[in-house]
A = this chain, B = another copy of it.
């Protein structure tokens, strides 16, 4: 097994730090989506970049938090074939028709039969923090920001906070 980092070449590109005299700012927006499918993937990259641009913040952090347990936010390539695989792996890892207590009226008063939605949301997470550089979200060439609906159709809300200088 080659797990050690002795053989790893490293280079570091230094970037000049921002002027220390800039005042710290926080900018906040709430964004809503109306979803149409039970399991739906939405590319929100442009929407988040719009908010970052409006914030006037050049360097810092953008924090995305979906306010629903049966959703998730994550990065991946936005390609139709891969999105089908994202759905497939989630359906394989957390089966909808599992023997879940949350779906059993004997144990639960939830009538949505959405245990799988909760567990898929937990695996991928509902909060994501990304860097802001030069007034844009820092993303690699193939990285898109994806909001996952796991129990639609619903109205969904995300809180977006940009902080920095």
Footprint of B on A, CB under 8 Å?
1-5, 7-15, 17-18, 20-21, 23-37, 40-44, 47, 51, 55, 59-61, 63, 65-69, 74-77, 79-89, 93-94, 98, 100-102, 104, 107-108, 110, 115, 118-119, 121-131, 133, 138-143, 157, 159, 161, 163-165
Question: Are B127 and A129 closer than 8 Å at their CB atoms?
Answer: yes
Question: Are A107 and B81 closer than 8 Å at their CB atoms?
Answer: yes
Residue among B67, B69, B80, B110 making CB contact with A3, cutoff 8 Å: B80
Q: Which residue of B lies closest to A83 (CB)?
A: B3
CA distance A128 to B55 in the complex (A): 23
CA distance A75 to B73 in the complex (A): 13
Question: Are A44 and B130 closer than 8 Å at their CB atoms?
Answer: no
Question: Are A2 and B37 closer than 8 Å at their CB atoms?
Answer: yes
Question: Are A165 and B33 closer than 8 Å at their CB atoms?
Answer: no
CA distance A17 to B23 in the complex (A): 13
Residues of B contacting A7 in the complex (Cβ-Cβ under 8 angstroms): 36
Residues of B contacting A21 in the complex (Cβ-Cβ under 8 angstroms): 23
Question: Are A40 and B3 closer than 8 Å at their CB atoms?
Answer: yes
Q: A47-B10, A101-B85 are in contact. Are A133 and B119 (CB under 8 A)?
A: no
Can you identify 11 A-B contacts, CB atoms within 8 angstroms?
A3-B41, A8-B33, A10-B33, A10-B47, A17-B27, A68-B142, A69-B77, A81-B104, A82-B110, A85-B102, A88-B101
